[in-house]
Structure formats: structure tokens, C-alpha cells
Amino acid sequence: MTSVIDLAVVRELRDIVGPAGCREDPADLEPFLTESRRLYRGVADLVLMPATTEEAAAIIGLCSRHGIAVVPQGGNTGLVGGAVARSTPEAPEIILSARRMADIRELDPDNYTITAEAGCVLADLQSAAAEADRFFPLSLASEGSCMLGGNLSTNAGGTNVLRFGTARELVLGLEVVLPDGRVFDGLRSLRKDNAGFDLKQLFIGAEGTLGFITAATCKLYPRPRGVATAVVALPDAAAAIALHSRARLALGDELIAFELMSRQALEFVLAYLPAAREPLARPAPWYLLLEIATARDQAGTEEELEDFLGDCLESGLVLDGVAARSEAQREAFWLLRHSISDAQKGGGASIKNDISVPVSRVAEFLGRATQQVTELVPGVRVVAFGHVGDGNIHFNLTQPPGMEAAAFVDLWDSLTGEVNAIAVDLGGSFSAEHGIGLLKVRELRRFRSGVELDLMRAIKQQLDPAGIMNPGKILGD
Ligand code: FAD
Ligand code: ZN
């Protein structure tokens, strides 16, 4: 027993959701207490899984009256400890999981919208859209388990931001249970709606600190008929930026993904993922994975990408390139990109960064950051990859061979501090797409101005004066 919640209140909470919506046994609690990076270990005695907005509202209302904190959770794939409960006898916390709220309430093909509940798994949303000949563009490596409410609460990015924007840009309406248990019903499906402040935006990217998202209405797009994917080899990172500018001019809005991989990143994938194959004949310092999607048919699309790459080869901008000739080959290319984080584990302990800079300054960032970390830790392996078309690099670091793993992880704060300072110096951000959670609270205080922090605190104080929604996340204690 880690928390002291009055037994009568526990009984009332149980009654709201019934036995199917309640977890209390330590073995059943386990999946809700571990997180994907194993940086934190959650502590809680009670997980509640409401099946409806009314149940969620009743739970939060009751918690608010009894001073019990609520930690929202979706697929628990977040990377910054945002969904980690830290219950203590003095300050009890419960986990509020959206996983039983997984209905698609409405898909309106003519309005190009889908209204779904917070517990909908992202891949299921994508499939529902595809069945209606529509496209839901949010796409992340965790899409098989992350959920819409988590995606919106972290303002998730992923691989199609270049063309369709982050999660925020896909939302037209939102339904949220506020910290006092009232429901903000903003589930409108309008593309034009200038009626005062755009309140839904407050809750998107708020990591559960301002309320519990129960449902959202999101934009859909036409389902692409043709998709073409290629991997190209580059002599240096500057070529990636030049290629990005050129690809956008030549391919326009058809360019939907533009992902960078360093040779070191690919080497880890080739070494530790049995299914991985070298994409090109000769190794190169950098690789790009490009994808275009069009309303035309497949053959025309492949030709368009190949023509573009042919021009780039001729002018010497790229060293080599290969376009996918089948869906299996396309998947093989994406597997290389999506497996980097996992494969990196094979090389030992790692330290992760998630920075963004203006696209035009990515090469400068990579040069400066690589030099800095190599000076600090000779032999450190830089595993740089990411959504370079958005200026977002996961500048991950793997321990030097032979170094003690724990000694390397001890350098987390100093190394990420240096890397983040370089990004910020270049006009960038220390948190491009993963959020703040518990992991980057200190960085937020370091890099954001007093005025910005004051505004955030004022909003938090106004919406959640008792501080019951996800305490300690983003702004700290
Ligand atoms: P959770 O982890 O459960 O929660 C995340 C945060 O949102 C927490 O603060 C939680 O309290 C809050 N929250 C969850 N549900 C709600 C709700 N209903 N109401 C209010 N608050 C809520 N992220 C990217 O942006 N881009 C990527 O490319 C990307 N790739 C990833 C790849 C892998 C392999 C993994 C493991 C993660 C990746 N992530 C990525 C991070 C993560 O998947 C995303 O942040 C995702 O959006 C989190 O969704 P979730 O449902 O798992 O949320
Ligand atoms: Zn990413």
C-alpha cells in the first residue's frame, strides 16, 4: 500500500467504472507502471479505466473533491515520463487510463473528418480512415499501441509532419474533462470557427496537466493512390538540406516524408536487426528516406520520384539512390528507419536527445554538437537521425565501446545540456516532439524565459488551482 485513499472513496471510484474498469492487483498494475525507456518506475495502487466521458468526469470530480491526483495514460509509449504516477501516502495519485474509450463515434467522409475517443489506437484510426477511402496522416513508430488522447496530449509529430503538420494541426474539435470534473464539449468539426479563444489548443500538448481528453474530431485527407519511396546516399549533412529545398520545389506537396539516417545509425540496425539489409552497394556518411504520395496511380508516382532522383544524381547532389520496387521493399526501407532506437540498444547504454532547429541550420547543428560530445566523451558514438524536413533530429548517443554503461548514463544531464544549448543557440528547441514530462522539467526552466513560464503557470493555476491533474509534469512541483 503506497497511498492512503479513504476506503469509502475507493469504493465510490470503483462503483463509477465497475469491475471491468478497475485494476488493483500488483500484477495487473504492472503494465501501467513501467514505461518504454525504463527511466522511471511508476507508483500507484489504483488504475481506473472509464468507458464513457460521463464516467471520466465522475472520477475526476470525485478526485478533485478529495484531493486525489490523476495521472492520465493512453498507450504508455511516451518517452519523457509524462504518464508515470508517483503516488505517496501524503499525496495519493491514481492512473486514469483511456484504453476502454476506444470507439470511433463518427466518420464523415464528405466533411473529411473522424470523431474518435481518446483510447483509439493510432493504427486503428488510420485503418478506419483507409476503409472509407480517406487518410489519417499522423504516423509514428509506436502507432500500434499509442492512442489518440496521448497523441494529442503530446502533440505528437512523427514522419508526415512535413506535409500535414503535427497532431495539433489535425484537430478540429476536442472534448475534455476539466480538473473540476466539468466537461468542455468543443467537439465541433468545422474548418472555420473564429469564436473567441481557440480553447482546444490549450489542452493539445499539455501532457494531461490541464484536463483529460476524452474525444477529438480530426481532419482526414484523400487516400493517396500512388506512394513512392526511395533511399539515397549523401556525402554530408549539408547535402540533405540542399536536397530538401530542391525536393520541395520539384515535388511540392507530394513530398510527405524526408527522414535522415547517419551511417552509424544504419550500422546499428544492420548489426542488431537480423532482417535488415544494406540498402545501397557502397556505404555513405548519410542517408535519406524520401516518400511521396499522390492522387495519381502508382506507376506515374514511381516515375516522378525516379526522375527527380536521376536529376539529383546527375548534378552530384546525391551519391547513389534506390527506389522501392514493391510494397515489401518499401516496408524494408521503413524498417531501417523505424528500428534505429531499438537497434541502438545493441551498442550499450544510450542518451537521447530530441532537438529541433530551423531546417537551414541542421548541418551546422550536427557539426557543432558532434564536435562537442566527442570532445567531452572520446569514442562516443553519435546516432543522429530523424525528421530532417522538420528540422527535428534525434541526436542520440551510444556509449563508447568498453565504457561502463552506468558511468555513461551518469553523463545524461551534462551531455543533453550541451546538445540542447547548441540547438537553442541556433534558434532551436530542446524538445521538438516528445514533450517535457518529468524528464525535461529542468531544461524547460533553463531555456524558456520567465515570461513564458509565468504564462504557463498562470494557465495551470486558473484551470487546476488544486493541482490535481498530472502533478509535477511540465512545470515541476
Ligand atoms: P502516453 O505515453 O500514455 O501519455 C503521454 C502523455 O500524455 C502523458 O503526459 C499522459 O499523462 C498524457 N495523456 C495520455 N492520454 C491522455 C488523455 N486522454 N488526456 C490527457 N492527457 C493524456 N513521438 C513523436 O512525437 N514522434 C515520433 O516519431 C515518435 N516515435 C516513437 C517511437 C517509439 C518506438 C516510441 C516508443 C515512442 C515514440 N514517440 C514518438 C513517443 C510517443 O509514442 C508519443 O508521444 C505518443 O503520442 C504517446 O501516446 P500514448 O498514447 O502512448 O501516450
Ligand atoms: Zn521522432
Are 110 and 192 contained in the same domain? yes
Let me know if residue 310 belongs to a domain: yes
Are 280 and 371 contained in the same domain? no
The reply to whether ligand 1 has any atom less than 6 angstroms from the CB of 119 is: no
Asked if residue 294 lies in contact with residue 284, where contact means CB atoms within 8 angstroms, the answer is no
Q: What distance in Å separates the CA atoms of residue 393 and residue 386, rounded to the nearest whole number?
A: 5
- 46 CA to centre of ligand 2 in angstroms: 31
- Residue 468, amino acid: I
pLDDT at 266 exceeding the cut of 60: yes
Instruction: Report how many helices (DSSP H) and strands (DSSP E) the chain contains, helices first.
Output: 17, 19
Note the pLDDT tens digit of each residue in 72-125: 999 999 999 999 999 999 999 999 999 999 999 999 999 999 999 999 999 999
- Residue 87, amino acid: S
Let me know if residue 477 belongs to a domain: no
pLDDT at 397 exceeding the cut of 90: yes
The CATH code of the domain that includes 28 is: 3.30.43.10
pLDDT at 401 exceeding the cut of 60: yes
Q: What distance in Å separates the CA atoms of residue 106 and residue 132, rounded to the nearest whole number?
A: 12
Let me know if residue 398 belongs to a domain: yes
The reply to whether ligand 1 has any atom less than 6 angstroms from the CB of 473 is: yes
Among the listed residues 209, 182, 207, the one whose alpha carbon sits nearest the alpha carbon of residue 60: 182
Let me know if residue 135 belongs to a domain: yes
Contacts of 469 (CB under 8 A, 6+ apart): 69, 70, 72, 179, 208, 209, 210, 211, 212
Are 153 and 56 contained in the same domain? no
The reply to whether ligand 1 has any atom less than 6 angstroms from the CB of 151 is: yes
| This model's pTM is above 0.85 | yes
- Residue 412: pLDDT band (50, 70, 90) is very high
Q: What is the mean pLDDT of residues 292-297?
A: 90
Single out the residue in 341, 370, 385 at which a domain terminates: 341
- 4 CA to centre of ligand 2 in angstroms: 39
Q: What is the mean pLDDT of residues 314-338?
A: 96
- 339 CA to centre of ligand 2 in angstroms: 12
Single out the residue in 61, 81, 97 at which a domain terminates: 97
Average pLDDT of the chain? 96
Are 59 and 128 contained in the same domain? no
pLDDT for position 38 = 85
The CATH code of the domain that includes 247 is: 3.30.70.2190
Let me know if residue 15 belongs to a domain: yes
pLDDT over 70 for what percent of the chain?
Answer: 99
pLDDT at 1 exceeding the cut of 60: no
- 421 CA to centre of ligand 1 in angstroms: 25
pLDDT for position 3 = 60
The reply to whether ligand 1 has any atom less than 6 angstroms from the CB of 160 is: no
Note the pLDDT tens digit of each residue in 459-477: 999 999 999 999 999 999 7
- Residue 183: pLDDT band (50, 70, 90) is very high
Q: Quick count: other Cβ atoms within 10 Å of Cβ 465?
A: 11
- 28 CA to centre of ligand 1 in angstroms: 21
Environment class of residue 38 by beta-carbon count within 10 Å: exposed (0-12), middle (13-18) or buried (19+)?
Answer: exposed
Q: Which residue's CA lies nearest to atom 41 of ligand 1?
A: 78
Are 329 and 360 contained in the same domain? no
In ligand 1, which atom is closest to the CA atom of 203? Answer: 20
Let me know if residue 452 belongs to a domain: no
Cell numbers 546538445 correspond to 419
Single out the residue in 222, 246, 274 at which a domain terminates: 222
- 195 CA to centre of ligand 1 in angstroms: 30
The reply to whether ligand 1 has any atom less than 6 angstroms from the CB of 429 is: no
Are 182 and 239 contained in the same domain? no
pLDDT for position 2 = 52
In ligand 1, which atom is closest to the CA atom of 36? Answer: 36
Let me know if residue 321 belongs to a domain: yes
Are 57 and 122 contained in the same domain? no
H/E element holding 373?
Answer: helix 362-376
Are 377 and 416 contained in the same domain? yes
- 393 CA to centre of ligand 2 in angstroms: 8
Are 122 and 212 contained in the same domain? yes
- 461 CA to centre of ligand 2 in angstroms: 31
Environment class of residue 75 by beta-carbon count within 10 Å: exposed (0-12), middle (13-18) or buried (19+)?
Answer: buried
pLDDT for position 4 = 78
Are 82 and 147 contained in the same domain? no
The reply to whether ligand 1 has any atom less than 6 angstroms from the CB of 387 is: no
Range of the domain at 430: 348-435
Helix (H, G, I), strand (E, B) or coil at 9: helix
The CATH code of the domain that includes 159 is: 3.30.465.10
Among the listed residues 431, 283, 276, the one whose alpha carbon sits nearest the alpha carbon of residue 338: 276
Q: Which residue's CA lies nearest to atom 1 of ligand 1?
A: 76
DSSP structure class, residue 336: H
The reply to whether ligand 1 has any atom less than 6 angstroms from the CB of 354 is: no
Q: What distance in Å separates the CA atoms of residue 344 and residue 336, rounded to the nearest whole number?
A: 12
Are 245 and 169 contained in the same domain? no
The reply to whether ligand 1 has any atom less than 6 angstroms from the CB of 50 is: no
Let me know if residue 450 belongs to a domain: no
Q: Cα–Cα distances in Å, from 361 out to 237, 305, 357, 370, 393?
A: 10, 26, 6, 14, 11
Q: What is the mean pLDDT of residues 292-309?
A: 91
Note the pLDDT tens digit of each residue in 353-396: 999 999 999 999 999 999 999 999 999 999 999 999 999 999 99
Q: What is the mean pLDDT of residues 424-437?
A: 98
Are 211 and 282 contained in the same domain? no
- Residue 295: pLDDT band (50, 70, 90) is confident
pLDDT for position 438 = 97
Among the listed residues 347, 363, 324, 362, the one whose alpha carbon sits nearest the alpha carbon of residue 264: 347
Q: Which residue's CA lies nearest to atom 36 of ligand 1?
A: 77
Q: Which residue's CA lies nearest to atom 46 of ligand 1?
A: 151
Task: Give how many domains the chain has, as a whole number.
Answer: 4
pLDDT over 90 for what percent of the chain?
Answer: 96
